[in-house]
Amino acid sequence: MSGADRLSAAREALAEAEDAASVYGLGAAGVQRSGRTKPSGGRGTSSPGPAVSSSEPDPHAVARKIVLRQLAMGPRTRRQLEDKLRDRDCDPQVAARVLDRMSEVGLVDDEAYAEMYVRSKQETKGLAATALRQELRQKGVADELVDATLEDIDPEQEKEQARALVARRLRSMRGLGREVQTRRLAAFLARKGYGAGVSYQVVREALDDLPEHGRD
């Protein structure tokens, strides 16, 4: 299921959860009094019994609603959702059951999340595998899923990605000395997760092509 499809499914499920929540009494002020209707007057009429207290919200419905609201804002890893539920004082066993069910229906899928995240960050930020690995781990994706997701990254394609980043960055660095440009560009690529070997090769090639650094 793609990220867009999963978001759509999450929104539909959210609507269903909100309907279910009303059944469980979430947000309700209370329930109607039980017993007979109080007569309009006269002696001997019994006074109404004590009010029935409002029922406690169903913990599973509460947890589902929290999870679905998170997914409606964007894909999340299981650990991110676990953290959110813990922050909201959800019982760990309830949280586990709700997340297991969400995984069964495809709303929580760390593998799909990792694939989508890698594709997005490559396109928008030009991140290399090293940076992507670190970010996925921080979001709670298991190491084996991270490895499987990143194993298809082509080193040559990654190098082309680095060249495109350097070309764009150089537009704002014209007029600086070659040493300064080299240092800043290498640091820039390092922050994107590129290794020193790739960084200096790409930077050297880009600077050699500049007329201002043309060889005599």
Contacting residues for 24 by C-beta, under 8 A, at least 6 apart:
55, 57, 58, 61
Nearest CA to 167 out of 180, 149, 185 is that of: 185
Q: Are residues 102 and 7 located together in one domain of the fold?
A: yes
Tens of pLDDT, residue by residue over 153-177, are 999 999 999 999 999 999 889 888 9
Look up tokens 């290498």; give the residue: 186
Which ranges of 105-154 does DSSP label H, i.e. alpha helix?
110-125, 129-138, 143-150
Q: Are residues 87 and 168 located together in one domain of the fold?
A: no
Domain that holds residue 178: 155-213
Q: Are residues 129 and 161 located together in one domain of the fold?
A: no
Q: Are residues 104 and 182 located together in one domain of the fold?
A: no
Q: Are residues 13 and 65 located together in one domain of the fold?
A: yes
Least confident of 3-7, 23-27, 30-34, 63-67: 30-34
* Domains contained in the chain, number: 3
Residue 31 maps to a domain: no
Tens of pLDDT, residue by residue over 103-129, are 999 999 999 999 999 999 999 999 999
Maximum Cα interatomic distance, the chain, rounded to a whole number of Å:
116
Q: Are residues 66 and 137 located together in one domain of the fold?
A: no
